[in-house]
Amino acid sequence: MRTSYGKQTTLGESVRFSGIGVHSGKPATIVLHPAEADRGIVFVRTDGEEVEIAARHDNVVATELCTMIGIGGRTVATIEHLMAALAASGVDNVVVEIDGPEMPIADGCSAAFIELIAEAGLRRLAAPRKVLRVLKPVRLEVGDAVLEFLPHDGTRYDVTIDFSNPLIGRQSYVLDLNPRTFAGDIARARTFGFMADVEKLWKMGFALGSSLDNSVAIGDGRILNPEGLRWPDEFVRHKTLDAVGDLSLIGMPFIGHFRSYKGGHKLNWMAVRALVADAGAYEIVHDPVVAREPAGGIVQAAALAPSRD
């Protein structure tokens, strides 16, 4: 079975969402507006002088605790959960108005943004969708972390995490990305952290909005959230969600197989930069036709480890 990437899309109407920033702890409101073809996803800071920041890899200014984009000292932080929802839902063009420097965290995942997009609906535009097709392997190794793009007839994320903490350990997840698999298997996976690290961040003035309402907390050898985990492997599912959001900063969908071992925001961004820097590693195509991916989101993860060559 073959499927077309079709025409570009935008939202059917404007929609609003409010919450708090996970690091600032301050109120934050976004308004998503429909946008014309080839506009892409752009963030507009509406507090003070308006600044438009395209959600692209070349506007990333920080990746330590989240993914942050900025221009001229004006920034928007923690964009990855919304970006993942937009990418998975097939939204190409949106203007995101935001009244401060940080996105609302909601409950620490993408579910609220998936619902927001569903509320707005999608409108198809006349222009064909532009897609990056991976033509040859591009591999990034940093310490024992490995990330790579491979040719593939579809869009696949293959993510492995490996923590010394036994509550997480080594987990792998493979996602063939489409709206159904993301919404059903990934969107509700929450961000997570260790209480010892969070307490240090609090003292430094970060994670001021973090709570059991928007994060999975690990401490005293147990999960501190009364409701527990949403899946036994919620940790790797959230890392997969982050990867979908971070890789959307390519600026368009991609056709290929992304594999990650011990990745994170910074390494995701570095992998995107390595890919787009190699002009022979990809081509830009309009409305490509690819094999339709399976409806399910889990397949056996292949081993990924540093090269010994």
* 242 annotated as ligand-binding: yes
Buried b (16+ CB within 10 A) or exposed e, 201-233: eeeeebbbbbbeebbbbbeeeebebeeebbeeb
Q: Whole-angstrom Cα distance, residue 307 to residue 309? A: 6
In this structure, the answer to whether residues 106 and 176 fall within a common structural domain is no
- Confidence at residue 192, expressed as pLDDT on a 0 to 100 scale: 95
* End-to-end C-alpha distance for the chain, whole angstroms: 38
- Residues whose CB falls within 8 Å of the CB of residue 73, separated by 6 or more in sequence, listed in order: none
Q: Which of 129, 164, 183 is the last residue of a domain?
A: 129
Give the CATH number for residue 287. 3.30.1700.10
Residue 301 to residue 124: CA distance in whole angstroms: 35
- In this structure, is residue 304 part of a structural domain? no
- In terms of residue numbers, what domain contains 184? 131-291
pLDDT of residue 305: 40
Of the candidates 295, 268, 80, 272, which has an alpha carbon nearest to the alpha carbon of residue 182? 295
% residues pLDDT > 70 (the chain): 92
Buried b (16+ CB within 10 A) or exposed e, 13-32: eebebebbbbbbbeebebbb
My answer on whether 71 and 208 are in the same domain is no
* 85 and 201 co-located in one domain: no
Counting Cβ atoms within 10 Å, is residue 271 exposed (0-12), middle (13-18) or buried (19+)? Answer: buried
Question: CA-to-CA distance for 237 and 266, rounded, in angstroms?
Answer: 18
Claim: this prediction has a pTM higher than 0.85: yes
Same domain, 81 and 156: no
206 and 24 Cβ atoms separated by less than 8 Å: no
pLDDT tens, 246-279? 999 999 999 999 999 999 999 999 999 999 999 9
Domain stops at, among 129, 155, 177: 129
pLDDT value for 198? 78
- Category of 114 on φ-ψ map: left (φ > 0), alpha (ψ -120 to 50) or beta: alpha
- The CATH number linked to 24 is 3.30.230.20
Between CA 80 and CA 62 the distance in angstroms is: 12
Are both 220 and 158 inside the same structural domain? yes
Query: What is the residue-wise DSSP string for 51-66?
Result: EEEE-SGGGEEE-SSS
- 99 labeled part of a ligand binding site: no
Q: Give the number of domains in the chain.
A: 2
pLDDT digits (tens, 9 = 90+) for 127-140: 999 999 999 999 99
The pLDDT assigned to 309 comes to 32
SS3 187: coil
Q: Give the separation between CA 94 and CA 132, rounded to whole angstroms.
A: 19
Residues 120 and 139 in one domain: no
Residues 49 and 31 in one domain: yes
Positions annotated as catalytic residues are 265
Q: Are residues 44 and 172 in the same domain?
A: no
Residues 158 and 184 occupy one common structural domain: yes
DSSP type of residue 300:
P
pLDDT for residue 204: 76
My answer on whether 267 and 249 are in the same domain is yes
The torsion angles phi and psi of 125, rounded to 5 degrees, stand at -105, 170
Q: How many CA atoms lie within 13 A of 50 on its CB side?
A: 9
- 260/164 same-domain check: yes
- CB neighbour list of residue 258: distance below 8 Å, 6 or more residues apart: 147, 148, 149, 150, 156, 157, 158, 243, 247, 271
Residue by residue, pLDDT tens for the chain (309 residues) are 445 679 999 999 999 999 999 878 899 999 999 999 999 999 999 998 889 999 999 999 999 989 999 999 999 999 999 999 999 999 999 999 999 999 999 999 999 999 999 999 999 999 999 999 999 999 999 999 999 999 999 999 999 999 999 999 999 999 999 999 999 999 999 999 998 887 787 777 767 888 999 999 999 999 999 999 999 999 999 999 999 999 999 999 999 999 999 999 999 999 999 999 999 999 999 977 776 554 433 333 333 443 333
Query: Which are the contacts of 62, defined by CB distance < 8 A and separation ≥ 6?
Result: 68, 70, 75, 77
Do the domain assignments include residue 309?
no
Q: 159 and 281, same structural domain?
A: yes
Residue 140 burial (CB count, 10 A): 19
Q: Give me the DSSP letters along 82-112.
A: HHHHHHHHT--BEEEEESSSB---TTSSSHH
23 annotated as a binding-site residue:
no
